[in-house]
């Protein structure tokens, strides 16, 4: 249900809500929040709530550090793990400067603008996320270890799969929050799990991805475990990916230009899809792509077209990992696709072979994704496409300029 500000205020009064979390993300997609009491809610909607942004990554220094959080009432949801008596709810927020101007490093706003640009061009996007994570045991002090919660394999079942009940609790919690998980299973790595989402509009999908990480970490902690979303937590096991499924509705067969646009800009935007040094330990092995190629159903490719028809027809991008800021990632993917439409980019031939087993001389003909953190940052810094669509503050944070 999409609430208005008046409906949120009424809900808080009638449902014994005692705390309202005003949530936002730093420039890297890490969720932050301020909790306010019900008596401050009207002021939050009318004027915004000021906070000190100087300690938030990518938000600037101590000079002119005041920013305002303005809650988006349509994102209201309860936090099911908090007490029923004295409930806690959460809303995502827009970030503005004191004079009301949009804060340029508000990445959620960047995605809003990308969606508006797509709609102006006559296209509507849908996104679905497949996010992998590891469950590790904690020590006697509650600190995370690198000991996996189990040693099950791909789609194994209990008792080998010890994460079954935790995934169940995660999925039920997500449903209570209005998020629709489609499926869940044990992944290849020891203690590795995957939960897939039902597709939705880009902003909702990005909000859901941020919420998902929070829910998983909360449920894991309640079970005495640590949920790890890093791209390569175990050197001898598969990394964790954030596979992004996207479909476009524009009244025509847009798939060739979708793929062509993504391939055209994949190299330049890798720093935003894989933003940590650890990301480059994952790419190029264990079902994580290393080359800028595409094919149908082939999981060794950067882009694959799954076997699906009708509303489930989609394109899957397999390079991103869970450390990506979903607002930036989705915005850049929208602009890459729009560029494919605008330039009528031709679709390159598909690569129908297993790139993990192909000989070196055959692989030499394919362009690689950036092989290192430094290479990806340099590509972003020199990209006219990135400069056109991201503000300087965001580009500087990711490229090191």
What does DSSP say about strands 124-138 and 225-228: parallel, antiparallel, or unpaired?
A: antiparallel
- What residue has token string 């994460």? 163
Alpha helix (H) residue ranges in 52-198: 107-120, 164-176
Tens digits of residue pLDDT in 89-104: 999 999 999 999 999 9
Q: Which two tokens stand for residue 123?
A: 């296209």
For residue 61, pLDDT over 70 is answered with no
Q: Is the pLDDT of residue 151 over 80?
A: yes
CA-wise closest residue to 336 among 274, 242, 268, 243: 268
Cis before 208? omega within 30: no
8 Å CB contact between 241 and 153? no
Q: How confident is the model at residue 114, as a pLDDT? A: 98
Alpha-carbon dihedral of residues 78, 80, 83, 87, nearest 10 degrees?
10
Provide the pLDDT for residue 311.
64
The DSSP result for 213-224, as a single string, is HHHHHHHHHHTT
Residues 284-315 have pLDDT tens digits of: 887 899 999 999 877 789 999 987 666 667 89
CB 115 within 8 A of CB 125: yes
Q: Is the domain covering 113-399 a CATH 3.30.590.10 domain?
A: yes
| pLDDT-derived band at 57, boundaries 50, 70, 90 | confident
What's the CA gap between 108 and 26, in Å, rounded? 10
* Per-residue model confidence as pLDDT tens digits over 200-228: 999 999 999 999 999 999 999 999 999 99
Q: How confident is the model at residue 68 (pLDDT cuts 50, 70, 90)?
A: very high
Among residues 263, 274, 271, 231, the alpha carbon closest in space to that of 394 is found at 271
User: What pLDDT, in 10s, does the model give residues 356-379?
Assistant: 888 888 888 899 999 999 999 999
Instruction: Tell me what the mean pLDDT of segment 137-161 comes to.
Output: 96
CATH placement of domain 5-103: 3.10.20.70
Cα-Cα-Cα-Cα dihedral sign, residues 388, 393, 395, 400: positive
| Confidence band, pLDDT 50/70/90 cuts, at residue 2 | confident
pLDDT at position 286, please? Answer: 78
pLDDT tens-digit profile of 243-261? 999 999 875 567 899 999 9
Q: How far is residue 375's CA from residue 57's CA, in Å, rounded to a whole number? A: 22
How far apart (Å, rounded) are the C-alpha atoms in residues 18 and 20?
A: 7
Pairing outcome for strands 87-96 and 192-197: unpaired
Please, what is the average pLDDT of the chain?
93
How far apart are the C-alpha atoms of 400 and 394, rounded to whole Å? 10
pLDDT at 308: 66
Judged by DSSP in three states, 133 sits in strand
Domain ranges across the chain: 5-103, 113-399
For residue 253, the model assigns a pLDDT of 65
Backbone angles phi, psi at 74, to 5 degrees: -70, -10
């Amino acid at each position: 249900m999409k609430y208005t500000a008046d409906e949120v205020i009424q809900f808080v009064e009638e449902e014994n809500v005692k705390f309202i979390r005003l949530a936002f993300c730093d420039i890297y997609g890490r969720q932050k929040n301020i909790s306010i009491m019900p008596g401050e809610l009207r002021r939050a909607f009318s004027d915004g709530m000021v906070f000190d942004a100087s300690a938030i990554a990518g938000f600037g220094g101590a000079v002119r550090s005041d920013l305002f959080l303005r809650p988006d009432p349509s994102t209201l949801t309860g936090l099911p793990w908090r007490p029923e008596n004295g409930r806690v709810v959460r809303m995502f927020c827009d970030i503005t400067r004191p004079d009301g101007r949009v804060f340029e490093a508000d990445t959620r706003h960047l995605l809003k603008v990308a969606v508006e640009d797509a709609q102006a061009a006559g296209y509507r996007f849908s996104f679905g996320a497949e996010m992998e994570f590891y469950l590790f045991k904690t020590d006697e002090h509650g600190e995370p270890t690198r000991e996996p919660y189990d040693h099950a394999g791909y789609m194994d079942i209990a008792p080998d799969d010890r994460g079954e009940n935790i995934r169940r609790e995660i999925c039920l919690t997500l449903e209570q929050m209005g998020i629709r998980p489609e499926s869940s299973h044990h992944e290849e790595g020891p203690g590795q799990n995957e939960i897939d989402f039902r597709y939705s509009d880009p902003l909702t999908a990005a909000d859901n991805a941020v919420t998902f990480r929070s829910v998983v970490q909360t449920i894991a902690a309640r079970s005495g475990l640590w949920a790890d979303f890093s791209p390569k937590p175990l050197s001898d096991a598969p990394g964790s990916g954030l596979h992004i499924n996207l479909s476009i509705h524009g009244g025509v067969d847009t798939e060739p230009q979708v793929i062509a646009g993504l391939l055209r800009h994949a190299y330049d935007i890798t720093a935003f899809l894989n933003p940590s040094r650890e990301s480059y330990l994952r790419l190029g092995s264990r079902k994580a792509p290393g080359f800028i190629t595409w094919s149908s159903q082939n999981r060794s490719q950067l882009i694959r077209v799954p076997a699906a028809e009708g509303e489930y027809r989609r394109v899957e991008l397999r390079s991103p990992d869970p450390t990506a800021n979903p607002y930036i990632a989705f915005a850049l993917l929208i602009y890459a696709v729009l560029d494919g439409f605008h330039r009528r980019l031709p679709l390159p031939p598909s690569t129908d072979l297993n790139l993990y087993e192909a000989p070196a001389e055959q692989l030499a003909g394919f362009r690689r994704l950036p092989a290192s953190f430094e290479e990806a940052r340099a590509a972003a810094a020199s990209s006219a496409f990135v400069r056109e669509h991201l503000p300087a503050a965001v580009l500087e944070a990711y490229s090191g300029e």
